[in-house]
Amino acid sequence: MPADMPRLKRPEGAPSPATGIVHLGLGAFYRAHGAIYIAEAMAGSGGDWGITGVSLMRPDQRDALKPQDFAYTAVELGPDGEKPAIITVIHDVLVAPENPDAVLAVMSAPSTKIVSLTVTEKGYCHEPSTGRLNAEHPDIRHDLENAAAPRSAIGFLTHALNRRRKAGIRPFTVLCCDNLPENGRLLRGLVLEFAGLLEDDLRRWIDTEATFPSTMVDRIVPATKPEDIERLAEKTGYLDQSPVMHEPFRQWVVEDNFVDGDRPDLKTVGVELVEDVTPFEHMKLRCLNGTHSSLAYLGYLAGHETIADTVADPLFAGFVKHLWDDEIVPVLKAPPGVDLKTYTDQLFDRYANPAIRHRTWQIAMDGSQKLPQRLLGTVAENLAAGRIPKGLILAIAAWMRYVGGTDEKGKPIDVRDPLSADLQALSAAARTPRDKVEALLSVRKIFPPSLADDAAFRTSLIEAYKGLVDKGARAMVKELPHA
């Protein structure tokens, strides 16, 4: 790459609308999904829906985007090649630890109508097994005492809403875009719990006046690698230090419940506005996210680097189809107008797209936060119906093997999880497969007692874990029916 290559800049004449949306957690996914929808909606229908992004932890995203006037390239990775597009809907990025008051100020401004979030499951400071606020979380404890300098997404939302209440300004719509079941309802409950710890009047005002629409988001966005940046520069003739890569497919389903009806014209750009997002959410969390996690843990242990590599292995291709046909779809209610067989066939084609290098290690992150939403509910419903979902149980056993921190060749695994230290300690202290499984099942932040104490589940999980130790992931997948 030439040393004097020009840096990407916002194209001359590109619109610069006022901030109408503040987005917490400005990572690759939102920039490859929600931000593009917003840009397209404004291009077609106008409106001041410019986005101010907020990084809740590090300045990396701000530092990469600011020299580019906050423009960036979204690169569609299709079987027929790459298609870059310059996105200019973001016009500022704030770094919360540097100036939390600036973040609260823009969230409290009357022009801000929507605050959206992609802070990952662990960013909600809650107990995944119950959906309740973890009032002992260090960030939550800090935020209860520091209204002017919160740290957590929950703290920023609640304190900003309180500023608006005190100033006589209508609340903003809180739009969660993370992969959590009934994410709007969940987030509403967490904010109300936090507000109730501050002031009853604040809790009542939020409960009455604010809205928290649930959403379902879907687009595969692999992590951007240095070679992606170099390849894009060679193709375009400019250097973009923060492009995003994404598949052609996208879907966004949103409950049409915005404060005073204020929102971009989302329907005209393909957003599905519905009364109840729950069926779409369950379909995606279980069919896509559930199988993604299953393939990630078993595929990683079997030595596959990406999801495309994993499903290129005929055994794993059969495995994921078995999960859909025999374990997930039988306990799933299809959303209106959706054929689940067609949906899962499309999912397989997306997984197999060789242009998408979505690493199993990347998907395996934060499993303690993901398992309750992605796998455990489906397992519980199968057990209630008298079926043992051996494929999903094998995936949970693979997660248990993975968080132990050592792969099948005895090499260390770089486990990224908020509970990684505790999980590895529990696994290391247990000697036998039975002991390791029972130790990890005791983690109530992940496994509810109703499932952890189920004898059939426990027995099958121990057998699966022992098989992974004795035979390996690939051999255990081969033993499954229809895999």
Does residue 154 contact residue 56 with C-beta atoms inside 8 Å? Answer: no
- Cα–Cα distance for residue pair 182/286, rounded to 1 Å: 13
The pTM score is: 0.88
Q: In a 10 Å sphere around its CB, with 0-12 CB exposed, 13-18 middle and 19+ buried, how is residue 12 labelled?
A: exposed
Mean pLDDT in residue range 320-332:
97
Residues 6 or more apart whose Cβ sits within 8 Å of residue 91: 16, 17, 19, 50, 51, 52, 70
> What is d(CA 273, CA 296) in angstroms, rounded to the nearest whole number?
31
Instruction: Clarify whether residues 125 and 265 are in a common domain.
Output: yes
Mean pLDDT of 123-134: 93
Q: Does a structural domain hold residue 11?
A: no
- How high is the pLDDT of residue 40? 97
Cα–Cα dist 442/219, whole Å: 34
User: Which residues in 275-307 are b (16+ Cβ under 10 Å) and which e?
Assistant: eebbbbbbbbbbbbbbbbbbbbbbbbbbbbebb
Confidence tier at 1 by pLDDT (50, 70, 90): low
The predicted pLDDT at position 80 comes to 84
DSSP state string for 19-49: EEEEEES--HHHHHTHHHHHHHHHHHH----
> Cα separation of 8 and 137, whole Å?
40
* 398/266 same-domain check: no
Kindly state whether residue 8 falls inside one of the protein's structural domains: no
What pLDDT shows up at residue 483? 55
CATH at 405: 1.10.1040.10
Under 8 Å CB-to-CB from 12, ≥6 apart: which residues?
Answer: none
- The answer to whether residue 1 is domain-embedded is no
Instruction: Tell which wins on pLDDT, 301 or 1.
Output: 301
In a domain, 460, yes or no: yes
User: Between 290-301 and 314-322, two packed helices, what is the crossing angle to 10 degrees?
Assistant: 150
Nearest to 391 by CA among 479, 304, 452: 479
Residues 196 and 308 in one domain: no
* Same domain? 298 vs 425: yes
- Are 269 and 300 in a shared domain? no
* Same domain membership, residue 455 and residue 363: yes
Asked if residue 282 and residue 259 are part of one domain, the reply reads: no
Distance (Å) of CA 475 to CA 298, 302, 422, 468: 11, 9, 29, 8
- Mean pLDDT, all residues of the chain: 96
Q: Are 65 and 90 in contact (CB under 8 A)?
A: yes
Q: Is the pLDDT of residue 2 over 70?
A: no
Total domains in the fold of the chain: 2
- Written as six digits, the tokens of 76 are 């569609």
Tell me the residue length of the chain. 483
> Which residue, 274, 303, 331, sits at the end of a domain?
274
Task: Give the pLDDT confidence score for residue 42 in this predicted structure.
Answer: 96
Q: What number is the average pLDDT over the span 392-409?
A: 97
Confidence of residue 20 (pLDDT cuts 50, 70, 90): very high
Question: Do 25 and 85 lie in a common domain?
Answer: yes
d(CA 254, CA 272): 6
State whether 202 and 325 are in the same domain. no
Residue 6 lies in a domain: no
Instruction: Please return the burial class of 215, using the count of CB atoms within 10 Å of its CB with bins 0-12, 13-18 and 19+.
Output: buried
381 domain residue, yes or no: yes
pLDDT band at residue 13 under the 50/70/90 scheme: confident
Domain of 74, CATH number, reads 3.40.50.720
Evaluate whether residue 101 is within a structural domain: yes
Half-sphere exposure of 106 (CA within 13 A, CB side): 24
Is 7 among the domain residues? no
Q: Are 472 and 405 in contact, with CB atoms under 8 Å apart? A: no
Tens digits of per-residue pLDDT, 223-279? Answer: 999 999 999 999 999 999 999 999 999 999 999 999 999 999 999 999 999 999 999
Domain boundary pick from 274, 299, 324: 274
One domain for residues 236 and 90: yes
Final residue in a domain of this structure, among 223, 254, 274: 274
Residues 6+ apart with CB under 8 A from 207: 192
Same domain, 173 and 311: no
Specify whether 243 is located in the same domain as 284.
no
> What is the residue range of 171's domain?
19-274
